[in-house]
Amino acid sequence: MKHEMFMRMAVDLALENVLTNKGGPFGAVIVRNGRIISIGRNQVTAKNDPSAHAEIEAIRAACKYLNTYQLTGCELYTSSEPCPMCLGAVYWAKLNGIYYAATSKDAAKIGFEDEYIYKQFNLPIEHRSIPMFRIVPENTYAPFNAWIKQPYKQGY
Ligand SMILES: [Zn+2]
């Protein structure tokens, strides 16, 4: 019952975003122990920020509110299946679970590229549409070596 309530809220945020012409049709809610921690809505065009997806906005707001970089114990409710970027952010933030309503296939039908990007990630690098090249200067591993030796680092 509560799951559906949080999902309806995520979907309402998405709808409101479209009706007020503030961004794409996506909304998200982060919940911990049955309590809403944050909300997010797509703000890509409003902020000129291609990473301002609803899920990213919700994760940033939750981390700020909880003063942490990990959201263990939290769950994400998103109006549409997360894109690869947002799914990656969920893994980095270590959320406990994801609930979604519409699918990536549904989003593809109205012109959003989530499905396309998922397919790109499964291709070998040389077959992807955006070229990617490796360059290895002599200082390539200096940051990693410094990290290994850094006694005060905070692992994540
Ligand atoms: Zn996304």
| Residues carrying an active site annotation | 55
Tell me the per-residue pLDDT of 57-82, one tens digit each, with 9 for 90 and over: 999 999 999 999 999 999 999 999 99
Give the pLDDT score at 1: 73
For the entire predicted model, the pTM comes to 0.94
Tell me the per-residue pLDDT of 95-148, one tens digit each, with 9 for 90 and over: 999 999 999 999 999 999 888 999 999 999 999 999 999 999 999 999 999 999
Dihedral (C-alpha) 11, 62, 21, 85: value to the nearest 10 degrees?
A: -80
CA distance 11 to 77: 9
Expressed in angstroms and rounded, the spacing between residue 83 Cα and the centre of ligand 1 is: 4
Expressed in angstroms and rounded, the spacing between residue 33 Cα and the centre of ligand 1 is: 24
Tell me the per-residue pLDDT of 4-22, one tens digit each, with 9 for 90 and over: 999 999 999 999 999 999 9
Expressed in angstroms and rounded, the spacing between residue 82 Cα and the centre of ligand 1 is: 5
Expressed in angstroms and rounded, the spacing between residue 129 Cα and the centre of ligand 1 is: 19
